[in-house]
Amino acid sequence: MFNKKLLPVLITIALVAGFAGGVFYSRPKLADEVIVQKLINQDTGKIQNVDFSEFWKVWKLLEEKYVDQGKLDTQQMVYGAIQGMVNAIGDPYTMFFEPDTSKKFQEEIAGAFGGVGMELGFKNDTLTVIAPIKDTPAFKAGIKSGDRIVKIDGNSTAGMTVDEAVSKIRGKPGTKVTLTIAPPANGTIRDITLTREIIKVPAVDWKIIEHDGKNTAYIQIYTFSQNVDSDFKKASDEILKSNTDSIILDLRNNPGGLLDSAINLAGYFVDKGQLVVSEVFGDGTKNDFKADGASQLAKYPILVLVNGGSASASEILAGALHDNKQIHLIGEKTFGKGSVQQLEELAGGASLKITVAKWYTPAGINISVAGINPDIKVELSDKDKESLIIGDPTKDPQLQKALDILN
């Protein structure tokens, strides 16, 4: 299941909660025996020049003096210690999962589950909606990219990790969850009650838009899931048979997904052998990923739509097209996630997702901090956002701008 690299950015509630803002590598289960046994049997002293004596002193004091001895759970104490060690790194995308959370994480990567249909991340240390997923409860309720989630069922999200938020929002289909939502800027804070559903995420949709006597193939990529390769090939085959004059590739509100798919899709637009993305690890090791397609769609004039919900694999594809083919990006600055995570399975069902590398566009730009700025900025006003229907030129100013430029 985990033989592919995943990108995401970002937690997807009811989609891909493991896509927390980066590329994922998966590994076979470690050969380690039970973590607790290894840790408890470790004597005090120094390991790799780290003094663990204070740790063990606290452990022994708790065992000897804590008033409710019967409530001490050594397994949970170990998990808590590991969680504290991971949190001390200060990287919100390096995470330790206890067995129950680890199981949910892997289920989410694998397929459909009960949720409300949106991706979450952090913006300015605030739990933020990266993008709602089309035709899900969150989407239908009007939740927008950039909305801040300040409470979940009345509980403040301050200090809450993304995974804790995901676990609280997910649940059995048919049950309800109430989110307290604050807009990106000043505005009315409101409660929205959503009914959880089984969420199945579309990958690709496309249609012909006629504008000023020209036919533009408008392609929306919702996520880089396992279905995107086959769905995009089907769309490409149909476009090549149609009377298409140009292409608009819409990556708005696309949180990412499979790295292999982003590279594969780049091959429809850039020449074989051209660099798509580079990964740089902590020791300086660099892996270059190059296009291996037939550049079937490169003959068409192309524009790419992006916004603050475009993250991870979306940014890789947008960066590859921009840097290699000078294809213009239109819309708003992307989210900015360029880290690579590796998922390690631990004994007892726990797992560790650890940031191991950063990725760079062909021009050598790491977009983790600033995101990718569009060549042509088209910001949406509050009024635009209220009436926005993505894919409808009469109610989508960014799409309308792209059509005007192409035609």
Residue spans of the domains in the chain: they are 6-101, 115-199, 204-337+361-406
The DSSP H or E segment spanning 85 is helix 74-87
- Cα–Cα distance for residue pair 90/108, rounded to 1 Å: 24
pLDDT category, 225, cuts 50, 70, 90? confident
Query: What are the φ/ψ torsions at residue 58 (nearest 5 degrees)?
Result: -65, -45
CA distance 57 to 96: 24
Which residues are CB-contacts of 176 (< 8 A; sequence separation ≥ 6)?
193, 194, 195, 196
CA-nearest of 232, 221, 301, 305 to 264 is: 232
Residue 110, both tokens: 């694998």
Q: Which residue is it, tokens 């896509």?
A: 19
pLDDT digit string, tens, across residues 103-129 = 777 766 554 468 898 888 887 788 998
DSSP 3-state assignment of 356?
A: strand
Q: What would the mean pLDDT of 235-260 be, rounded to a whole number? A: 94
pLDDT band for position 39 (cuts 50, 70, 90): very low
Helix (H) / strand (E) containing 315: helix 313-325
Q: Which residues are catalytic?
A: 312, 323, 337
Which range is least confidently modeled, 118-132, 133-147, 310-324?
118-132
- For residues 51-66, give the mean pLDDT: 92
| Lookup: tokens for 235 | 């769309």
pLDDT at position 244: 96
pLDDT of 202 strictly over 70: yes
pLDDT score, position 113: 61
How many angstroms separate the CA atoms of 244 and 195, rounded? 41
Task: Please tell me the CATH code under which domain 204-337+361-406 is placed.
Answer: 3.90.226.10
Mean pLDDT of 214-242: 94
Is-contact 45 53, C-beta < 8 A? yes
**Alpha helices (H) along 172-241:** 228-241
Q: Count Cα neighbours of 121 within 13 Å in the Cβ-side half-sphere.
A: 30
Under DSSP, the state recorded for 367 is -
Q: What is the pTM of this model?
A: 0.69
Fold assignment, 115-199: Pdz3 Domain (2.30.42)
Residue 197: CB atoms within 10 A of its CB come to 18
